[in-house]
Every structure is written in structure tokens, then in C-alpha cells.
Amino acid sequence: MLASSAVLRRQQLVIRCLGVGGYSDHNINTNQKPMQGVRFSSGAASFSLEADAENVLRAITPTLDPNRHKGQAGNIAVIGGCREYTGAPYFAAISALKIGADLSHVFCTRDAASVIKSYSPELIVHPILEESYSVRDEDKSFILENVLGEVDKWMERFDCLVIGPGLGRDPFLLDCVSKIIKHARQSNVPIVIDGDGLFLITNWLDLVSGYHLAVLTPNVNEYKRLVQKVLSCEVNDEDAREQLLSLAKRIGGVTILRKGKADLISDGETVESVSIYGSPRRCGGQGDILSGRQVFVSDSRNPTMLGCIAGSTLMRKAASLAFENKKRSTLTTDIIECLGRR
């Protein structure tokens, strides 16, 4: 009952976003046009070249409506942050807020929680995950239940889970996260898989296989491992679009955003690329911004592609603005500062 009302709410968000005239952007505010040039074939593979990224962005950005209340413009959760990594989940979570989400949660280990809280008072940080070193074998099943209980309390309220930034590779922690993915799937909550989350799903493809609300955002190395595992071959840059299409299809129609000089996006039916803007800086953390910006991902196939195009465009625009100003000394925090600027 609760689940179906949440699905309805998310679908209404999509319909509102996509309805002609139902979009306005107080943020980017370029000349508004009806949504043209957003090309999707529903059947056979189509290979459009560059996505009409700015138009997509304009079309799917939700209206800022004074009648709406907290949470309606987006409530996301990042699952990540361990003893070793705290920057990545922060970048993902704060980026979601900076592009317009109302609420941004982080579920991380106790070690990571106080550090992530210290980066920003804007985030809601839940110190609930545990790594093997802090757990006795006989306590594991009890702790696993506890972790799932804590996440489930919130699950129906989330519009999207971002799984993986700064997650680390501790076996017990990854075991808990596998269960969280299963619960998200049962509740039809869209998931974005990045960083160590990709390590997890590359080894356990069933976790996401066939789930149309899953988005994978691999960088060059993560993509290489995914291609090797799923297609049993090496990355072929000559035929990059065809290979990406096959990969997405083989994982049952998940959407894959392959990060690179141009970002390539496919859901197994179409391939789009986004290459406008960008920066030559490759400082660590930019991928985390992108994952956090998948706040537009919603319950419907095409909107997942659109969300990727929008996320990629916003990231590249902000990186380009930051680079204009800071050049080689650009850091990821400088890019976040430019999110939402024109």
C-alpha cells in the first residue's frame, strides 16, 4: 500500500517534469522552448549523436513551486563512507542539494559519520554501517538486520539511492549493501551505482540485472572491468557505442553512463552522448558529484536516460565554469560551488 503510493508519487513527478509547459527553471533560465530534439526510439536501437543536452535539462528540471513542501523536489540517500573514505559520499550528497534536491541523507559507518557531518550541516548522516573489523562473527546477522531496519524506515521516502561513493570493499559491509539494493528494488526506488558499488555489482550482476531503474556510472577502469566480466572481451573504442549498447542490453536494460572525454549513455535500446562543456582537470571526486546529481532519475525508462543526460550536462557545465576561474588549481569543491551557476 505504502509502496504503491510512493510509486505513484514518483510517477507524478516524472509526468510533471515531462509535461509540455510543466517545466520552468529558476536556475539555468536559458530561453525556454518546448521539449524538442529529445530523441528516443522505443524499439530498435537508435544511434543519435550528441544528445540535445540543454533541452533535456530544461525539460526535466522540476518546477520550483511555492505551494510545494520540503522533500517534494527530491529526497536522496547516499550509501557510502567508511573508515578510509569520507570525501566521496559528501561530494555525492551535497551535489544533490546543490542542484535542487530538498533533502540529502548519507548512510555510512560510525567512523565516517562524524567526519562527513563536519563537512556540512546540510546533510543528514546516519552512522549505521559496520565494517568487519568492528563486528564479531556471531553478531553479524543481528547487525545486518539492524542496518536493514534503519534503511527501510526511510526507504519509501527516497526518490533515489546512490550506492557506492566511498563505500570501500569490506566483505561484511558489501553484504549489507547487497541487501539494501534488494530492498530498494522491491520498493521500486531508483538506484545509481558508482565507485565501489560497481565493484560489488560487477561481481554480483544479479543485484541489478533487469532492473530498469538502475543506473551504472563507471569511469574508465570500472567500465573495463564491467566489459571484461559481462561481455568477456576488452573495451573496444572503435565501436564504443555498439559495445555500450550490448553491455546495457546484456545487463537486462539497466542504464549505463560511461564517463569519459565524452560521456556515453545507453539503456540497451538507444545510445546518447554528451560532450558539451567539460574541463581537462581530472581531480578525484568529480565522479561522485555526477552520481549525486542523478536526482532526476525517476520511475520510467526514458526518464532514466534523461536523468543521465541532465546529470552529465550539469557536471560538465560546472566543471567548465570552475576551470575558467581556477584553471589547474581547480578542486572538486570548486566545481560543486559552480553547480547551478550559469
Of residues 7 through 36, those in contact with a copy of itself by CB under 8 A are 25-27
Q: Is the dihedral angle over the CA atoms 217, 337, 296, 279 positive or is it negative?
A: negative
The whole-angstrom separation of Cα 45 and Cα 26 is 35
Give the CA dihedral 94, 96, 99, 101, nearest 10 degrees.
-110
Applying CB under 8 A, among 10, 58, 281, 293 the residue interacting with a copy of itself is 281
Using CB under 8 A as the binding rule, whether residue 171 contacts a copy of itself is answered as no
Residue indicated by cell numbers 551557476 = 341
Give the interface segment with a copy of itself, choosing from 12-20, 131-139, 277-285, 305-313 (CB under 8 A).
Answer: 277-285
- Candidates 199, 211, 206, 148; CA nearest to 177 is 148
Q: Which segments of the chain are extended strands (E)?
A: 75-79, 103-109, 124-129, 160-163, 191-193, 214-216, 255-258, 263-266, 271-274
Q: Is 19 annotated as a binding residue?
A: no
Ligand-binding annotation for 279, yes or no, is: yes
Q: Does 77 bind a copy of itself (CB under 8 A)?
A: no
- Tell me if 27 is assigned to a ligand binding site: no
If one asks whether residue 69 binds a copy of itself (CB under 8 A), the answer comes out as yes
Please report, in angstroms and rounded to a whole number, the separation of the first and last CA atoms in the chain.
Answer: 42
- Residue 219 near residue 198 (C-beta atoms within 8 A): no
How far from the centroid of its chain's Cα atoms is residue 125's Cα? Answer: 18
Beta carbons within 8 Å of 193's beta carbon, 6+ residues apart: 163, 164, 200, 201, 208, 214, 215, 216, 217
CB of 283 to a copy of itself, least distance (A): 5
- Closer of 103 and 256 to a copy of itself (Cβ): 103
Strands 103-109 and 124-129: parallel
Q: Interface with a copy of itself includes 283 (CB under 8 A)?
A: yes
Span interacting with a copy of itself, options 115-123, 176-184, 246-254, 266-274, rule CB under 8 A = 115-123
Please report, as residue ranges, which positions from 211 to 270 form the binding site for a copy of itself (by CB under 8 A).
Answer: 219-220, 260-261
Residue closer to a copy of itself, measured from CB, 10 or 258 = 258
Task: Report the C-alpha gap between 194 and 200 in whole angstroms.
Answer: 10
140 known ligand binder = no
Number of residues binding to a copy of itself, judged by CB under 8 A: 66
Question: Is residue 64 a contact residue for a copy of itself (CB under 8 A)?
Answer: yes
Told to check if 70 binds a copy of itself by CB under 8 A, we report yes
Positions in the binding site for a copy of itself (CB under 8 A): 25-27, 61, 64-73, 83-87, 90-91, 97-103, 111, 114-115, 117-127, 219-220, 260-261, 278, 280-287, 323, 326-329, 331-333, 339-341
